[in-house]
Structure 1
Amino acid sequence: MTTAAVRRPPRAALPPAARRAKRRSTWLGLLAWAAGLLFCLPALWMLLTSLHSEPDAATNPPSLGAALTFDGYREFFGAGGGASPWPSLINSATASLVSTALVLLLALPAAYALSIRPVRKWTDVMFFFLSTKMLPVVAGLLPVYLFAKSVGMLDNVWLLVVLYTSMNLPIAVWMLQSFLADIPLSIIEAAQVDGARLPTVLARIVAPLAGPGIAATSLICFIFSWNEMLFARVLTGVTAQTAPVFLTGFVTSQGLFLAQLCAASVVVSLPVLAAGFAAQDKLVQGLSLGAVK
């Protein structure tokens, strides 16, 4: 017994306009990949240089086929008799995490008042927050230094916490206000009808719905605090020295220790990369998708 072969119908040829659109999308995709690799190239070069010895890292042009070693990382962590980076890393983590937490605690009620329950002339309030970022940071450096000296707060990590909180608070209010403005009022009104007070509404209703916005805001504030160097360089010495200030110790009068500097830069960049990786799921979620049925 034989069966007839089943033939698939031939594929319909794409019209010329569709073929041109497909080729255009292919070229745009390749261009996007090339741009992404171009932006990642400095970081990859820094990682490769950190795995070279100092003589190989200092060659011009650089040697790509040089032997790999972890001497730069061992020197960074004090194996060669240098200063330990752990106090500086702990100071940066303390200043960044505590200031970010304080910023969120202060910015969330302020953004709630300016978006969901707007006050009178709230646009003037938003402009006031924005105007605080118009003054260059270096212009306020001397008054802050004199004030810190008069109250005995120089070389104190808690002074950095206060400064980073005040510096990031306007940005956090602006970001959270735009996120909270999209929360449906019907959800908040339903919770208030059930007897929920303001702290309960903020903690159990607003914060979960604004999770992506809070994650993005906290990540921005953490990055700004972790990377800040001007105030940390001027207002701290040894006790409250942060990681960016510690990196400048690899540029000495004896020369530039390039391999150690790249190794230190890789280590100091890891917390920011880890924070971004941990918050990536929140960053892509819908703000209130499916909240209202």
Structure 2
Amino acid sequence: MSAATSASPAAKTNAAPSTAPNTAPKSVRRRNAGLGLIAWLVGILFVLPVLWMVLTSLHSEADAATNPPSLAAPLTLDGYREFFGAGGGPSPWFSLANSVTASVVSTVFVLLLALPAAYALSIRPVKKWTDVLFFFLSTKMLPVVAGLLPIYLFAKNSGMLDNIWLLVILYTSMNLPIAVWMMQSFLAEIPTALIEAAQIDGARLPVILTRVVAPIAMPGIAATSLICFIFSWNEMLFARVLTGVIAQTAPVFLTGFITSQGLFLAKVCAASLVISLPVLAAGFAAQDKLVQGLSLGAVK
């Protein structure tokens, strides 16, 4: 009996750990399944308006204006045909070209100015560099409407109204503060030993920036350039006030489909989808660099 009683606690202790590995993975799997379900629901919630816009763009104006909307309405491409000028309306290609020019050129200028500035604030920090960063960011705190009238008067007196290069200058100045702020955090992760080794080998600052700093910080540069491109592409207030016909951008062209007579939902949805495609394509092409750049320095 004593042997049996002495063996029973040992058997219990040996049996107890065998049940733990079987219960723990099940709870983890349930939790992961719950988180995955929540993620899918949130993703569907965000994608649903885009899908609704796509469906509305494929309906006729009469079907798109029904309340409640008709999901089983016949599909048509009339909205896209009217957007591209098939019905005798204006062509969108000139406005799309203006948006591409203003967004791409301003993004290039922002990178050319932000990279040396971020280098000075991170790898070779100046005195009170935190105050400098706060000053850069404080320029974004001014409401855009507050600076609209002075900029309009300046553009009118200098003869730059309805000029695409005025938008390039404005978009460069508007995106430069956030670009410097982002690039500073990215460049702060670069080991200074690499910079010192390049300086010992005789490399000067332009060579260091282009051949040492830029390749290492490429994910951060890609993320910064994509965000600046999106901000420039979507900007409409300055483009609506400062441009007319020659420098009209795609968002301004989009507002021309909204009329007081109504029946414009299908055309607006079709135009919105086409105008959003360049930004979606750029984000999809650089999604790995964007995620890597935005998460750079998050995990030590």
The answer on 1:30 being equivalent to 2:37 is: yes
Opposite residue 268 of structure 1, the aligned amino acid is I
Give distance in 2, aligned partners of 1:16 and 1:281.
Answer: 36
Deviation by residue 1:149-199 (Cα, 9 ceiling, x = unmatched)? 000000111000000000000000000000000001111111111111110
Opposite residue 161 of structure 2, the aligned amino acid is L
Give distance in 2, aligned partners of 1:123 and 1:35.
Answer: 37
Opposite residue 189 of structure 2, the aligned amino acid is D
**Structure showing the higher helix proportion among its residues:** 2
Give distance in 2, aligned partners of 1:125 and 1:247.
Answer: 38
Give distance in 1, aligned partners of 2:54 and 2:165.
Answer: 33
Unaligned runs of 5+ in 1: 1-11
Give distance in 2, aligned partners of 1:227 and 1:129.
Answer: 22
> 1:50 aligns to what?
57
> 2:272 aligns to what?
265
Kept in 2: contact 1:232–1:242 (CA 8 A):
yes
Kindly state the Cα deviation for residue 256 of structure 1 after the two structures are TM-superposed.
4.2
Give distance in 2, aligned partners of 1:210 and 1:270.
Answer: 27
Give distance in 2, aligned partners of 1:158 and 1:225.
Answer: 13
Normalising by structure 1, what TM-score? Answer: 0.92
Give distance in 2, aligned partners of 1:262 and 1:192.
Answer: 55
Kept in 2: contact 1:51–1:70 (CA 8 A):
yes
Aligned with 2:124 (options 117, 120, 128): 117
Normalising by structure 2, what TM-score? Answer: 0.89
After superposition, residues 1-16 of structure 1 pair within 5 angstroms as 14-16=21-23
Give distance in 2, aligned partners of 1:284 and 1:28.
Answer: 20
Aligned with 1:187 (options 182, 194, 209): 194
Which deviates more, 174-183 or 242-251? 242-251
> 1:92 aligns to what?
99
Opposite residue 164 of structure 2, the aligned amino acid is V
Deviation by residue 1:114-169 (Cα, 9 ceiling, x = unmatched)? 00000111111111101111110000000000000000000111000000000000
Kindly state the Cα deviation for residue 69 of structure 1 after the two structures are TM-superposed.
1.1
Opposite residue 275 of structure 2, the aligned amino acid is V
Kindly state the Cα deviation for residue 268 of structure 1 after the two structures are TM-superposed.
0.2
Kept in 2: contact 1:210–1:288 (CA 8 A):
no
> 1:161 aligns to what?
168
Using a 3 Å threshold, how does the CA distance of structure 1 residues 201 and 288 change in structure 2: closer, same or farther?
A: farther
Give distance in 2, aligned partners of 1:150 and 1:83.
Answer: 30
Aligned length: 278
Kept in 1: contact 2:155–2:161 (CA 8 A):
yes
Opposite residue 120 of structure 2, the aligned amino acid is A
Which deviates more, 56-65 or 74-83? 56-65
